[in-house]
Structures are given as C-alpha cells and as structure tokens.
Structure 1
Amino acid sequence: METPYQPPTDTDSPDSGQDPSADSLKAAEDHTRVVPKQYLTAFILVTSLFALWGFANDFTNPLVRAFKEIFLISNFESSLVQFAFYGGYATMAIPAALLIRKFSYKAGIITGLALYSIGALISIPASLQMSFGMFLVGFYILTFGLAFLETTANPFVLSMGSPVTATRRLNLAQAFNPIGSLTGMIVASQFILPALQTESFKAAEAAQHPEYATMRPSEVDGLMIESLESFRDNEPEKHAEMQTHDLSVVRIPYVVIALVVLAVMATFLISKMPDTGSGHEQISLGALVQRLTTGRYLGGVAAQSFYVGAQIMCWTFIVHYGMTLLGLTAAEAQRYNIVAMVIFLVSRFACTAILQYLRPGLLLGVLAIGGMLLTGGAILLQGYTGLYCLIGVSACMSLMFPTIYGLALHGLNPEDAKLASAGLIFAIVGGALMPPLQGSIIDGSDITLGGTLLESVRVSFVLPLICFVVVAVYGFAMSRQASAAS
C-alpha cells in the first residue's frame, strides 16, 4: 500500500514569500482547473488505463462474427463472447470496490492489470485446443481485470480536483478510451480479419458463383455459411487446418496486449500515487445503501446498463449489418466500425467542451434523442443510408458513459464513491445480456412492414432504440432536477 499522498501546502510565515491573498488565488485556481497541477502526473497515468480497456472492448467486438464462421455456430452462440466479456464486470465490480475501499486505488489498478494479462494469455491454450469455451473463460477473466480498472479509475479521476469540474475531468479522461478502441478496431480490420482463411474461402466461393451478384446479400450470407458447413462435413481435416490457422491469427494480439499490460503494471508498481480518498469517516454499508437509494443514483445505474447495452449492440452487430445487408466482407464492414469510432472520438472531445455551456443532463437527453432517430434510420432506411445512420449513432453515444457516471455519483465523497461506483460498473452487465438477445433476433425470421422487407438484422436494432429512450428519460430528469436546484 502506498504512502498517503500529502498535497503541497502554503504557509503564512514570512519565509514562505507568500501572503494570504496569494493562497486564496491559488485555491481559486485549483477549484476551477479541470486537473490541478499536483494531480497531473497521476491523472496521465490513470488515463492510460482508459485506452487499455478500450482496446480490449473493441478488438473483441468483431470477433463475434469471426467466431461464428470459424466454429460454425449460431449468432446467439457467437454473441456469448459478449456475455462472457461483459459478464466479468458484473461478477467483479463489487469485490473490486471493496478492495479499493480497504486498501487503495493503486491496489485496485495493479490487481486489475494482473487479471487483464492472465485473461489475455488464456488465448494461447484456447487457440491450441481450438476451444470456444476456453476463449470464453479467457474473456471472462480478462474482464475481471477491466472491472477492477474501471471501478478504480473512474472515481479516482473524479476525486482528482474540485467536485465542480469532476464531470468535465471524467469526460476528458474518457476521451482517451476511444483511442484504445480505435487501435483495437484497426488491428482487427487491417491485420486479423483479412488474414482469416474463412474470408479467403468465402471469396473463392463468390468467384465460383457469379449468380450471387444478383441475389440479396442476406441470401448470399446464408449460402456462404452452408458452404462452410459442407466443407467441414466433407473435408474435416482441411477444415480443422483452417480453424487452427485462424485461431492462431486471433491469438497474436491478445499475447501482445498482455505484454503491454504487464509493462504498464510495472510502471504503476514503482510510481507514487495520490491518496485522494483519505480523511473521510468509515461508514456502515447500510448507511451508504440508504444514501444511494435515490432516483439520481438508481436511475443512473439503470441508464448506464441500457446505454452500455446499446453501445455494445451497435458496435458488435455493425459487422453483421454490413455483411448481411450490403454484401461487405468482414474487413470492409469493420472499416465502417472504425469510421464510427473516429466520429465517437471527435464527438467526445467536442461534447466535453460543450459541457462548459450546457447542463450535463440536458446534453445527455438531447444526444439520446439523436440516438433514437438515427437507430430508427438504421432500421427503416435501405442500403448505405441505413448504414450511415448506424455509424452516426456513435456521435450521440460519445458523451453518455462518463456523463451518466458523473451525474449518478454527484455529491458523494471519494470514500462513498468507491463503493457506489461498483453499481455503475456492475451496470455494464447490460453489455452481457443484450447482445445475445439481439443475436437471437438475428437468428429469427425477416418481417414485412408496410410492404417493405425488413431483414432480421435490421429488426434487431429495435433493442438499442429502446435503450436510448431510457437514457433520454434519465438525462432530462437530471437536467430538470439541476434547474430546480439552481
């Protein structure tokens, strides 16, 4: 456990060379500064963690479709990748909060990084044994680590300065999360998906069947899966060789990121971190629960769960959308996901600036309405217009996670926030529960609405649309509450 951090203090003695008015000016400056100078180094180190878990999240998303074709399983079964991945958050959020409350933020970060690396390294035996189940175990343990990191890093950042600038500070730190996400997406689209032999097999099938060019992409997609199944049944040895190759390709990035995570862990081990949570009375769990039984906090947990569900569904199944509805390859569809992430990144920085002028709840509600409209476009509009709407949803999602987080924890001291943050990290379970539900809808039948065929992939995006309704209600409710208090 690290030595408690003591912030620098000024004295009023003649030797200090300062007068009380200088002290007052310094205090006022620290009160308005998003990141006070004494916390800058720690803030930079902790912000690097946001990029690390962003990489894991968004490198894994396109693997849902890849695993479907490598192991020849249903959309529901392949979406269990997300169930395992985000289920780890639900399992470990409360233990992580208890650990950092008992010890320190630094202890939580080191524990998280260790679990992250272990989970990533399980990809080695999983790929060698060609075991989908072992991959799921690895993802589950990996996200034990992410749960520790997020449960620790978010309240840690909130505590590094004045409560007045806390939401802006968290939005600034979260702005670096998409950088990691974007890196994961680029690695997947440029180095992993194009290298899969399943993609080469499908390209060869398309070349042998020119009639595919006149068929609906969703029909062609089904025929490609049938061809893969036939290849597995008729030439099992060659199919096993293809699986071995593809899983070895998938394994490489997880091994590399495990080594990077271990290096970051070593940096934290030798670094002194501020103890911003000291100096508060220990309280009973019952007293804390009583204080958290409010519309602000419980509504924030619910809104966070629905938001994360919407985010994971939009980013996971954009690959299915492009491949099934537009006939794109996996790598081509993933490139549109990269465009969505670039929009997400730019929008997060822009929205962080806008927060200086608008109440967080109001901006959250407005963006949620935008998400509803664009998701509706992805459902109803044909061709690339629908895909562009789905991409545009990312601009609306950019602000949501950190803003809901900051709104829900508003008014809590750092010690209370350590445990309260567990509920908000537990809410990430929405990303575990909703993708399998969307996958089961995709496995279902197409429907006809007003004479227009709506493929099952398109229909499935009704789920994120409903999620944005919940987020909008919470955002406007918090805005109205802030307006009444001012």
Structure 2
Amino acid sequence: MSSSAPKASLFRAGTTWPFILITSLFFLWGLANNMTDTLLAAFKRIMSMSDFQTAWIQYAFYGAYFFLALPAAIIIKKFTYKTGVLLGLGLFILGSLLFYPASITMVFGHFLAALFVLAGGLSILETAANPYIVALGPEESGTRRLNLAQAFNPIGSIIGVLLSKVFILSQLNLSSAEERSAMSEAELAAVQSEELTAVMGPYVGVALFLMLLWLVLKFTKMPKASDSGPDLELASTFKRLTKLPHYVWAVVAQFFYVGAQICVWSFTIRYVMQELNLNEDSASNYYLGALVLFMVSRFIFSALMSFIKPATLLMITGLAAAVCTLLVVVGSGYLGVYALVGISGCMSLMFPTIYGLGIRGLGKDTKVGGSGLIMAILGGAVVTGIQSIVSDMTGSIGLSFIVPMICFLVIVVYAIIAGKHEEALNKRLRGAGAAGSPSPQFNTVK
C-alpha cells in the first residue's frame, strides 16, 4: 500500500517568509495546549479535586475551540486570513492576562473563564493558520507542507511543559488532600494563594511576548489568500460537505484523534506518578520525553511523506498507537510508562495529516470545511471526560486508557477510507492534466 506520493513543489515563489511567520503561531498554540494539560495535575492537588472535576479544564479549553471555529471561518471569509490571525492572537493575549485576576480571587471558575477566552483565540488562530499554510503552495503538497508547519508545534509544547515544570509544578505544596483538609481555613488559603500565583505567572509572561508578535504581524504585509466567491452560504455548504464521505470521516477521525491525544497527555503525569511512585515535578520529565519524541517523529514523518502516501503512514501509526495503548492498559511499571511515551511518537503526524487529507478537493468550501475540522477538537473535552469517568469509577488510570485505544482504531478506519479517496482524486488530476485541463486549485496567493 506504500507507493510513492506524487511529487509537487512545497512553496510558491515569495511565500517562504509568510510561511515562517505563520508557522510561529503553530509553536505558540503548542505551548498553550501543553501548559494547559499540566493544569489537570496542578489543580487536582491545589484544590483536592477528582479526575472528573479537573476535566472541566479541558471542557472549557476545547469547548471554546468548538464554539469559536465556525465564527472564525465566517470572519476569515468576509475579511482575510490576517484578520483572523490578529483577532485570534488578541483573544489569546486577553485570556492569558485574565489569569492574573483569577489568581487573586482564587475561584476555579474564573480560571476556567480565562482558559475559555484563551482557547477561543487559539480556535480562531488554528482556523486561519491551517488552511493558510495549505494555500501557500500547490494543493498536491498541502498535506506535506502542513506537516512541516505542524512539526514546530511540539517545540512549543516542550517549552510549555518546561515552563509548567519550572514555574508551576515545582512550586506546588506537596501536602495531600487529607493533609489539606486538616489545615485551618486561613492556612489552606495561604498555601493555595501561593500555588495559584505560580499558575498565573507563565501565562501573563507569555501574554507580554504575544503582544510583541501581534504588533509584528499587524505591520507586516502578508500574502492575501482568496477563494472563489465572496458569499458564504452555510446551509448549502454544509449540505455539500455532508455528501462527501472522506470529509465526514475526517471530522470523525479528528474528533477521536484530539480526544485520544488529550487523554494520553492529560493522564501521563498521573499515570507515571502511580506506576513509578513519583511526584508531579519528577513525573513531568516523562511527559517532556513524550513531547520530544513527538517533535522528532513529526519531522521524520514530514520527510517520509515525500516517499510514502500520507494515508498509508496514518494507517500504520494508528495501528502502532493502538498496540502501545493496549500495553498501557495491561502493563505496569516501566513497561506501561515507556509504552505511554511511545504513543506520542505515533500521534505526531495524525492531526495535520487528517486535516490535510480532509480538506483536499473541497475548493470553495475549504474555509467552512476547515472550521469543521477545528470544531472536531471538541473531542479533547468529550473523550477526556469519558476517560476521567472511567478512571474514577474503576479506580485505575491504566484501565481508563481503553478509551484512547478505541479512538486510534477509528483513525485506522479513516486512513483506509482516505487512502481510497486520494487514489481516486490523483487519477482524476492525472486525467485532467493529460487532457490539457487545469488542475483544481484551492486558494491562490496574491
């Protein structure tokens, strides 16, 4: 099944610098995503929460992705990709700054509100940046180009975990839930105030950096990507999209992929703590190792896509991820921990590959189609919540990894469907080329 992928140039002339600038955004939302993942372990200790209660962090974060993706597509359609980027970055900054008043009130709901605003900005950023990267070159190489841009996402993830490790997790008071319940109200408030101030610090620091980036983007002349037709007719667009099996399956696969990824990363620290008897700070080293593997693997897979079809790689890595997850369920100790780390290597190509395969051939429906794939990020909240319930009900974090294992098997099914669609589409493109007809193109860069 692994035949050579069609050759196509990676960039159009004059788009290298815009590619670099937009790719920096992939770094930034990787940083924000993985700082957020560590908050589950942090708030579980700070406020003595159950796994399901801490899952509200993911509900707030990924719920914002769901609600803001379609409005983002409408804004981008009416204006430009640059408008979407600036709006998303602005909300990212606002949400980060809201961590400061939340740390003063010490109310969990206020932190959730700040995360919702922050993640709403990330939703708009991703809705704009992913198809923009695809638009910066030939459609045939869009999936490869998106994988290259996404390869910088885990670098941000690693920095996010390092920031959390140094400024948040290492600052936690190691008192257990039982010890905290025995403290006086004033003593507990003092401990929590210090911990929540540590939570706030990295977010406000990131906001200050983002302000500078916002100004750079504002005053930089960016290529304008346009599509055919100024009007956005949602009803007819959705009707066309739902008739495309490869697109519908891409949305389903993206939902389950993001759910699996967030399950794996949200519970990595807790699983390592349980299996190796470590605290949050020490256990985060294994999470960091998983992200390094994720980063290295993404660059490797981006290179392999020059020789192997993306759908084929997606099928292979989906199967490998399912096997590794099964080892987490049935294994223990270092076997389970290393298998858990290995899942990240398998996941590295999944999001951009599902996205790139899903929007290929959508033409004028690409913006709305792309927003649907971003809305599918809601899986990060829904599936993580299911795993949290399984963990609380069974009392076993390891057993709860059955949930992401099922998700990876869904991705394998999608990879098979996407592979057949790609073969059919490539045949049509070759036939059109032989007949002297122009190939269909997504956006052109002006």
Do they superpose with TM above 0.5?
yes
Residue in 2 aligned with 1:471? Answer: 411
Give a deviation string over 1:298-337, Cα, whole Å, max 9, x none.
Answer: 1000000000000001001001101123211101111101
Which runs of structure 2 are paired with 1:14-413 in the superposition (5 Å)?
Answer: 32-196=8-172, 198-199=173-174, 201=175, 224-231=176-183, 235-278=184-227, 280=229, 282=231, 284-293=233-242, 294-413=244-363
Residue in 2 aligned with 1:444? Answer: 393
- Give the counterpart letter for 1:149 in structure 2: L
- Give the counterpart letter for 2:412 in structure 1: A
| Shift, 1:229, TM fit | 2.4
Distance 1:246-1:311 versus aligned 2 partners, 3 A rule = same
- Give the counterpart letter for 1:227 in structure 2: E
The answer to whether the 8 Å contact 1:77/1:436 transfers is no
Aligned mates of 1:396, 1:277 — CA distance in 2 = 34
- Taking every aligned residue pair, what percent have the same amino acid on both sides? 41
Q: Which range is displaced more, 346-355 or 319-328?
A: 319-328
Distance 1:279-1:94 versus aligned 2 partners, 3 A rule = closer
| Shift, 1:33, TM fit | 2.3
Distance 1:444-1:290 versus aligned 2 partners, 3 A rule = closer
| Shift, 1:412, TM fit | 2.2
| Shift, 1:437, TM fit | 1.8
Aligned mates of 1:300, 1:260 — CA distance in 2 = 34
- Give the counterpart letter for 1:430 in structure 2: G
3-state secondary structure, aligned to 1:418: helix
Give a deviation string over 1:180-236, Cα, whole Å, max 9, x none.
Answer: 11100111123321122x22x3xxxxxxxxxxxxxxxxxxxxxx33223223xxx22
| Shift, 1:281, TM fit | 6.1
The answer to whether the 8 Å contact 2:256/2:379 transfers is yes
Residue in 1 aligned with 2:433? Answer: none
Say whether residues 1:462 and 2:414 are aligned partners.
no
Structure 1 stretches lacking a partner, 5+ long? 1-30, 202-223, 447-455
| Shift, 1:80, TM fit | 0.6
The answer to whether the 8 Å contact 2:10/2:145 transfers is yes
- Give the counterpart letter for 2:67 in structure 1: T
The answer to whether the 8 Å contact 2:387/2:403 transfers is yes
Aligned mates of 1:354, 1:301 — CA distance in 2 = 24
Structure 2 stretches lacking a partner, 5+ long? 1-6, 428-446
The answer to whether the 8 Å contact 2:98/2:114 transfers is yes
The answer to whether the 8 Å contact 2:77/2:230 transfers is no
3-state secondary structure, aligned to 2:223: coil
| Shift, 1:68, TM fit | 1.1
TM score, norm. by length of structure 1? 0.84
Equivalent residue in structure 2 for 1:427, among 364, 371, 376: 376
The answer to whether the 8 Å contact 2:91/2:117 transfers is yes
The answer to whether the 8 Å contact 1:306/1:467 transfers is yes
Q: Which range is displaced more, 147-156 or 283-292?
A: 283-292
